[in-house]
Amino acid sequence: MAEPEAVDLLQGCGLPRAWAGQNAWRILDTGFERGLPFLNTWRAWKNDPQRPRLLHYVALTSAPPKPDELLACAAPISDLKELAQALRPQWFGLLPGFHRLTLEGGQVLLTLCVGEVTALLREQRFVADAIYLNTPDPDGAAVLPWNSWTFKALARCCRRGTRLASTSEAAGLHAGLTQCGFELEARQSAPATGGLSGQFNPRWTIKHTRDPAPGHPVEPGSCAVIGAGLAGASVAATLARRGWQVRVLDQARAPAAGASGLPAGLVVPHVSGDDCTLSRLSRSGVRLMLQQARSLLRPGQDWNATGTLERHLDGSAGLPLRWSTTGQDWSHPAPPETTTHGKPAIWHKQAAWLKPAQLVQAWLAQPGVTFQGGARVDALRPDGDQWALLDAQGQVLARADRVVFANAGGALPLLETLQTTQPSLGLRLDQLPALHGVRGQLSWALHQDTAEEAFPPFPVNGAGSVIPGIPVDGAAPAARAWFVGSSYQPDTQPALPEGENHAANLARLQQLLPALGQALAPRFAAGAVQAWSNTRCVSADRLPLVGPLYQADRPGLWICAGMGSRGLSFSMLCAELLAARWGAEPLPVEAGLANALNALRANAAP
């Protein structure tokens, strides 16, 4: 049996009956404590044949439990213990802010929000179906420091009919909730534990005065995604999991024909002394990407969570000055034996190498996703309530309720044509940050006997990067390759010859790992290295773009592009953000951070 309070919260919100047959159900828990109400709700979802397709559980806490506390609280109850153990691998690096943990193949999403309760409530942009006003103490002492702003912030997460259950019935709680619009009754069903339950039913018209109105969820329908790289395939899989029928069109015959054809890349967080927006977003993205890799790819063959060493050749420290022990779950100063010339280096624990094309294939293979190759989209036109996607001859390639432009540098020309042919649409291309192409070339070769001892046992980045020991698909089983990269050159300049890019890659390697650079120099000189090159689509502020392309109640055209040099860190985060906006679901990151990725962010009116 679970603790009575945990069961009570569920029952007090009319669950599991209330969520039967729903597409998604969103629970807001104001006090995660040691996690029992969450584990209990997850178990109820698992055991319910009429469970919603998606369970969102947003939990607030000032301090998440330590992993052993989480496991200990579930230990006496065998099926909860199993769930706690399944959660354990994702229980790391829970710094202040939001953390999205993905369970049950993405059907149970826990968003753990760490910080002060009013601030956390204000960063939410969703409407809860049920609220657990969870307080461990019957006198409500944990909640009573709440002020009227906290209750108002809670009310902003409610719709008429949102159910609420509390394990406390303290007078201050009753008054605060009533004033902000709840109708409450004492919990007859729970005489042992006491508590309140009720629903949001204010006597006034509900108005959202600040931005946050998340709108109504759009019922899943059909979606066409242009571009079958990391951006398009992640969007497709994420929407399909929510019940959308998604067709992914690409001009190439096979998926991952653009930058996502990269033979191997790094999934690694960005760090900065001030823990800037890019750093924080990259950690959220890396967390989501590592979860995807764990559930969809073959470890050792398609990816490996090796960790990565980042060397700061300019002598800067990289990490924030007061980096907590929780932050060190992510990245910490590297041991002295891994540094050279006394220059600081950082060990990224939560980092991996990954073959993007394998992940793209895995996402496209999800139920509900169809890939259509050899389908270059040259124009779009409205077609009833839908959009028709046309080829150069004006033939219809596909029709869909919604369209996502995930075709990197190919998006803008297509949108410019659309702006000309459909002026009434009000496309706001002037508000998109500038996008430009940046060419990149990797140098690579199979490992041979020579120079093996000079390779590190893990990837190293900093000035360029080296990724050693990558199994080569289709080659002899033991064949492994190393990759050294990458050149970085605007595509407005004439492309450099391959040899010049190899030389630039070698020069960077000689700075990054001098011994390895020296050992590999003869191979470069003999022309015994191969090249892989493509073009990155980079935005002016180095952050991707995700969002609608014009202002409307229910805009049908969206973009997810501009992944720059970090498609492996950002694609899944962007896909989750897009899906959250379509479904009026909880955001995977704080609203302030999510806004930094809004597509229409340049020259936007304040």
Ligand X SMILES: Cc1cc2nc3c(=O)[nH]c(=O)nc-3n(C[C@H](O)[C@H](O)[C@H](O)COP(=O)(O)OP(=O)(O)OC[C@H]3O[C@@H](n4cnc5c(N)ncnc54)[C@H](O)[C@@H]3O)c2cc1C
Task: Look up residue 446 and give its DSSP letter.
Answer: E
Closer CB to ligand X, residue 67 or residue 456? 456
Number of H helices, E strands in the chain: 16, 29
- By CB under 6 A, the residues from 77 to 116 that bind ligand X are none
156: nearest Cα among 185, 123, 184, 198: 123
**Measured from the CB atom, is 238 or 569 closer to ligand X?**
569
Q: Which is nearer to ligand X, 279 or 441 (CB)?
A: 441
Residue 36, both tokens: 């029992």
CB of 473 to ligand X, least distance (A): 17
- Tell how strand 386-390 and strand 379-383 pair up: antiparallel
- Beta carbon nearer to ligand X, 140 or 485: 485
Q: Does 400 bind ligand X (CB under 6 A)?
A: no
Among 36, 155, 180, 442, binds ligand X (CB under 6 A): 442
Q: Count CA within 13 A, CB hemisphere, residue 543.
A: 26
- What is the C-alpha separation between 310 and 268, in angstroms, rounded? 9
The binding track of 332-371 with respect to ligand X, each residue x by CB under 6 A or -, is: ------------------------x---------------
Q: Would you say 73 or 466 has its CB closer to ligand X?
A: 466
Stretch that binds ligand X, among 178-186, 400-408, 502-510, 517-525 (CB under 6 A): 400-408
Interface region with ligand X, contact rule CB under 6 A, candidates 17-25, 27-35, 257-265, 443-451: 257-265
Q: Cβ of residue 475: shortest distance to ligand X, in angstroms? A: 21
**Nearer to ligand X (CB atom), residue 108 or residue 289:** 289
Q: Is residue 377 a contact point for ligand X (CB under 6 A)?
A: yes
- In the numeric block, which tokens belong to residue 1? 């049996």
Please report how close the Cβ of residue 380 comes to ligand X at its closest, in angstroms.
Answer: 10
Minimum distance from CB of 121 to ligand X (Å)?
Answer: 33
In Å, what is the CA distance from 492 to each residue of 3, 427, 438, 489, 495? 64, 26, 8, 9, 9
CB of 373 to ligand X, least distance (A): 9
Name the residue with tokens 């398609």. 302
Q: Which is nearer to ligand X, 86 or 531 (CB)?
A: 531
Query: In angstroms, rounded to a whole number, what is the distance separating the alpha carbons of residues 392 and 375?
Result: 10
Running DSSP on this structure, what letter comes out for residue 415? H
> DSSP state, 458?
S
- What are 336's two structure tokens? 């002295």
CB 265 to ligand X: min, Å: 3
Alpha helix stretches (DSSP H) within 13-141: 36-47, 67-74, 78-87, 117-122
Which residues, other chains included, contact 138 with Cβ-Cβ below 8 Å and sequence gap of 6+? Answer: 167, 168, 169, 170, 193, 194
In 140-195, which residue ranges form alpha helices assigned H by DSSP?
148-155, 171-179
Contact map string, positions 207 to 246, toward ligand X, x by CB under 6 A: -------------------xxxxxxx--------------
| Binding of ligand X by 292 (CB under 6 A) | no
Query: What is the closest distance, in whole angstroms, from the C-beta atom of residue 442 to ligand X in the complex?
Result: 5
Q: Is 410 in the site for ligand X (CB under 6 A)?
A: yes
Closer by beta carbon to ligand X, 39 or else 266 = 266
- Is the bond leading into 16 cis (omega within 30 degrees of zero)? yes
Buried b (16+ CB within 10 A) or exposed e, 234-255: bbbbbbbbbebbbbbbbbbeeb
Which residues within the stretch 474-513 sit at the binding site for ligand X (CB under 6 A)?
485-486
Residue number with CB closer to ligand X (53 or 294)? 294
**Shortest distance (Å) from residue 243 CB to ligand X:** 23
* Pick 377 or 504: Cβ nearer ligand X: 377
Pick from 433, 373, 398: nearest CA to 229: 373
398 binds ligand X (CB under 6 A): no
**Single residue of 408, 427, 512, 587 touching ligand X by CB under 6 A:** 408
Q: What is the CA radius of gyration of the chain?
A: 25
Which residue shows structure tokens 């902003």? Answer: 156
CA proximity to 568, closest of 455, 492, 421, 465: 465
Asked if 260 interacts with ligand X (CB under 6 A), we say yes
Count of residues engaged in binding ligand X, rule: CB under 6 A: 42
Q: Pick from 24, 362, 414, 466: which binds ligand X (CB under 6 A)?
A: 414
309-to-316, 460, 463, 568 alpha-carbon distances in Å:
15, 5, 12, 17
Choose which of 110, 259, 296, 559 interacts with ligand X (CB under 6 A). Answer: 259
One character per residue 523-562, x = contact with ligand X (rule: CB under 6 A): -----------x-xx-----------------------x-
Pick the stretch among 186-194, 275-283, 296-304, 567-575 that binds ligand X (CB under 6 A). Answer: 567-575
Give the type of residue at 513.
Answer: L
Site for ligand X in 157-216 (CB under 6 A): none
- CA 90 to CA 287: how far, in whole Å? 8
The whole-angstrom distance between residue 295's C-alpha and the CA centroid of its chain comes to: 15
- Rounded CA gap, 333 and 345, in Å? 6
Are the C-beta atoms of residues 360 and 308 closer than 8 Å to each other? Answer: no
Contact pattern from residue 26 through residue 65 relative to ligand X, giving x for each residue in contact according to CB under 6 A and a dash for the rest: ----------------------------------------
140 part of the interface to ligand X, by CB under 6 A: no
Binding positions for ligand X, rule: CB under 6 A: 226-232, 249-252, 257-260, 262, 265-266, 356, 376-377, 406-408, 410, 414, 440-442, 485-486, 534, 536-537, 561, 563-569
